[in-house]
Structure 1
Amino acid sequence: MCSVIIGLLIGLIGSLFYWAISAATTFRTEHSYIHFLLPLSGLLIIGLYQLLHSLKNSGTNLVIKAIQSNEEVPLKVSFLIIVSTFITHLFGGSAGREGAALQIGGSFGNYIGKSLSLTSVTPRFSLCAE
């Protein structure tokens, strides 16, 4: 039941992220002059990461490493990824959506699991007959 609730919550966040990126793309398409502000948007993103003291090792590799080594994925990763991907798409930069969605899901999933004191459990049964 927890998995369904967490999946629905992260799915909702992912849908909102998709909607925001689509809105940014529509705005950029209608206002082509915004491309000239792309260098300033890069400085804004760098400033956000510096302001929030982001991790040196961030990105999709952070989520993969956390899963493999049972480490934490900080919630601020989600905030930074959502905002920086939105800004990038708004001003015409190139950024993927799938990697961002993975990082958002990993960060929120980790936060919710930690908040509910959930731990990783190995299943007691197998679908394959032994």
Structure 2
Amino acid sequence: MIDHPHTNDAGFTLLEMIVAFLILSISLAIASQTLAIAVQSYRLATEREELLSLVQTLRAETLPQMATSDAMQQEGELGELRWRIRKLAPRLMQAESGRVSFAIISAGKTNEASRQNFLVTLPSGNEH
């Protein structure tokens, strides 16, 4: 019988290599999914921030003008963002009792069908 000499080769077996490769593959898949979710979240947060900035601008500049006019709706564009303000008609009794009037600001990108809606109060002075 042939006696094989014992060697202390400190290498990986084929099974250990397959397990290590499997763990690495799963880790890379999870990392790429996490990165994709982070990029999408950042994009959505940036778009939402742009919309909120637009709404603040409209509340400061356009709503006071609409509050004193008879116009019930106004539309416009600012860069890629398209917006529409629609006054909600107050009931006659509400207008007489001095209740707050509201408007809806719809805004979104011009190339997207989905829009965000914001319910805002009209500045005082809009009751006739």
Q: Which has the higher contact order (CA 8 A, sep 6+)?
A: 1
Q: Settle same-fold status: TM greater than 0.5.
A: no
TM-score by length of 1: 0.33
Task: Work out which of the two has the higher radius of gyration on C-alpha atoms and give 1 or 2.
Answer: 2
Higher strand share: 2
TM-score, reference length from structure 2: 0.33
